[in-house]
Chains A and B, each alone.
Chain A
Amino acid sequence: MFGGLLVAWLTLIALTRLPPFILPAPQQVLAEIVLDRAILFPAVLTTLGASLTGLLIAILLAFLASMVMDLSPSILRACYPLVVLSQTVQILAIAPLIIIWFGFGVQSTLIIVVLFCFFPITIALVNGLRHTPAEYTRQFRAMHASKWQIWRFVRLPSALPAFCSGVRVSAAYAVISATIGEWVGGSSGLGVYILRSKNALQTAQVFAGMLLCSALSMLLFGAIVLLERTSLRRYRQYNNTFEQLKIISKGEEWI
């Protein structure tokens, strides 16, 4: 797959004969990564740190927000449009405000990462919580389970797959949103490296930064998928319980 992309890249250069300051060759880009490693290494660490921290804060906030919105349908109705609204904000337009209020540096980057990553997780989790199979909740209610117990043992576990896919989407966004954050007001990181290189017409450097961004995104995405798989074992257990419950509720194995 990656080999195919590489071939396409090389073919594009050969066919269009675009000058290297518009489309540099892969070997030039790799050479830049090696050449600039002394500045790229700290830049990668800064961007990865901001992405990861922002993603974790987003997960935490999304979890809390979903819990609150899950309390009652009227809260959900009131808050859901606000969550959607948060995604319609043009970041470049409000960037000066964010930076003037929160200052230059990593805190402003984090806010932008959270703003990007919060949405997919919240939407997925709210949706997951709302679509708990009714038969399970009925069954639990019949067994006099409390609201908390139903949430804890039925609704939350059944919402986990949705939650995980939300986190996966956010993980894919995290690095790019961090570079956008750095772009609008950072002083270090891959975003700053790319912007400086772009304005200096050092296109091979721009592509080198871009390549590292993609690598980081995939790394983060892969890590989340891996984490999901490990915790899936526990979820499978729940799933088995559900299957049993289903059978029980149908009364097939009863008595």
Chain B
Amino acid sequence: MNKQSLVITAFAVLVVVLLTVVRSCDAEREATIDSDDLQPVTVMLDWTPNVNHVGLFIAQTEGFFADEGLRVEIIEPGEVYPAAAVLSGRVEFAVDYQEYLTLLSEEQTGLVSIAALLQGNTSGFATRSADGIESIANFADLTYGSFAAPFEEPTLRALLECAGSEDGVESITFVPVGSDSLTMLDQRRADIVWIFYGTQGFQAEEIGAEIDYFPMRDHTDCIPDYYTPILIAAQEYITAEPETVRQFLAALDAAYNFIAEQPGRAAEALADAIPELNRAELRRSVPWLTQHTHDSNGTWGGQEEEVWSEYAAWMHRQGLLSARVDKTKLRALFTNEYLPQ
């Protein structure tokens, strides 16, 4: 073998070796899947891991998924829409929102909400305390930090109207803030931002930013309450694997009961699972979240038809949906059938 072919061979070997090494890092967990009889399923989050996902991580770390015979891989969406990942069959379950699923209802995608991760909406609008904004009516002429969702403008328009503001949503300047809403609010680049209280509300406390908070929950007479986030799956998969769906939800139900009973331990477990998160923040946000995980009967995951129908009707009134969502279509959007009885 001459020098030249030696170099080429060495290069080829290097590529193969590196590919194998890189693959094997990835395949480590797959190897463990093969080593037991647990059924592998994948669930995709709607964002990077945060307090809203505590049930999924607790079911994982405390072994509730394994008790149900499942080996669950939790993956992050990156730049993929969770709904698209479910439809493509790459993942079995995903975390999504009622807003998006309702918007998608016109496309007849066959996506179904199988459980509400939280009972109702825990999001709301935040402003700087220093600005002394006392009511939503004062939102006019301010700057709103947008994350570019289609329902932001209709939501603000409706809230302003209900608050009796003379100026419409047109008086509000929209600026893009992406995921930096709190930073932009604190640094006066935006005056209003839409936050999930469980994450950014507690982050604000952590960084010492004083905010006034206007929960969506206080304005359900204006905009009907809705479930956010929810768990979705494809109807095709649910029909094919009803038992897996039941097991998955049973494990989550157990996990949420565990969190309700021992929120402190759940916070530590989540911080251990995702060390990037702020442990001090989780110690306060996880116990807070437990107020919103179960309904008044102490049941986790249930969804009411009224919540789905009223929000869909509101979206239609706002022009977000071109047609009314009829009862058949509506009932295809969610189900309580696979929750533990």
Q: Which residues of A contact B (CB under 8 A)?
A: 19, 21-22, 36, 38-39, 45-46, 49-50, 52-53, 56-57, 60, 92, 95-96, 99-100, 103-106, 110, 182-188, 192-193, 195-202, 205
Contact = CB atoms under 8 A, between A and B. Distances in A.
B31 interface: no
Contacts of B81: 96
B23 interface: yes
Contact of B15 (A19, A50, A60, A183): A60
B44 to A, nearest CB: 9
B244 interface: no
B186 A183 contact: no
A21 B260 CA distance: 31
Contacts of B66: none
A201 B206 contact: yes
Contacts of B77: 185
Contacts of B41: none
A19 B186 contact: yes
Interface stretch (B84-92, B132-140, B154-162, B229-237): B84-92
Contact of A110 (B22, B49, B200): B22
Contacts of A96: 79-81, 84
A31 to B, nearest CB: 15
B11 interface: yes
Among B19, B49, B78, B281, chain A packs the most CB atoms within 10 A around the CB of B78
Contact of A196 (B22, B200, B274): B274
Contact of A185 (B49, B78, B281): B78
B243 to A, nearest CB: 25
Given A182-B78, A195-B48, 20 more contacts: A19-B207, A53-B19, A95-B79, A96-B84, A99-B85, A100-B80, A104-B75, A185-B77, A185-B80, A192-B76, A193-B276, A196-B49, A196-B277, A197-B276, A199-B47, A200-B276, A200-B277, A201-B183, A201-B207, A205-B276
A201 B291 CA distance: 24
Given A95-B78, A186-B78, A187-B75, A56 B18 contact: yes
A106 B25 CA distance: 9
Contact of B80 (A50, A95, A106, A199): A95
A247 B25 CA distance: 56
A48 to B, nearest CB: 10
A186 B76 CA distance: 8
The binding surface of chain A is classed by DSSP as: helix
Contact of A106 (B23, B78, B90, B186): B23
A208 B225 CA distance: 40
B165 interface: no
B119 interface: no
Contacts of A104: 75, 90
A180 to B, nearest CB: 10
A46 B25 contact: yes
24 contacts: A36-B276, A39-B275, A39-B276, A56-B18, A95-B79, A96-B81, A99-B78, A99-B85, A103-B90, A105-B26, A110-B22, A184-B79, A185-B78, A185-B80, A187-B76, A195-B78, A196-B76, A196-B276, A198-B179, A199-B48, A199-B50, A200-B50, A200-B277, A201-B183
Contacts of B11: 56, 60
Interface size range of chain B in the complex: 35 or more
A19 B203 CA distance: 14
B322 interface: no
Nearest to A94: B79
Interface in B184-237: 186-187, 200, 203, 206-207
B79 A183 contact: yes
- In the A-B complex, list the 10 residue pairs whose CB atoms are closest, starting with the nearest: A196-B276, A185-B78, A95-B79, A184-B79, A53-B18, A199-B48, A184-B78, A100-B88, A49-B22, A196-B48
Given A19-B207, A56-B14, A103-B90, A50 B22 contact: yes
A244 B203 CA distance: 71
Nearest to A18: B187
B21 interface: yes
Contact of A53 (B22, B48, B277): B22
A202 B274 CA distance: 13
A110 B186 CA distance: 38
A22 B18 contact: no
A193 B48 CA distance: 10
Nearest to A100: B88
Given A110-B22, A200-B48, A100 B278 contact: no
B182 interface: yes
Residue of B47, B48, B182 with highest tally of chain A CB at under 10 A: B48
Nearest to B274: A196
B28 to A, nearest CB: 10
Nearest to A57: B15
Contacts of B50: 199-200
Contacts of A103: 90
B15 A202 contact: no
Given A21-B183, A106-B23, A200-B48, A36 B85 contact: no
A247 to B, nearest CB: 27
Contacts of B75: 104, 187
A255 B90 CA distance: 74
Contacts of A182: 78
A106 B26 contact: yes
A200 B26 CA distance: 25
Nearest to A195: B48
Contact of B182 (A56, A57, A197, A201): A201
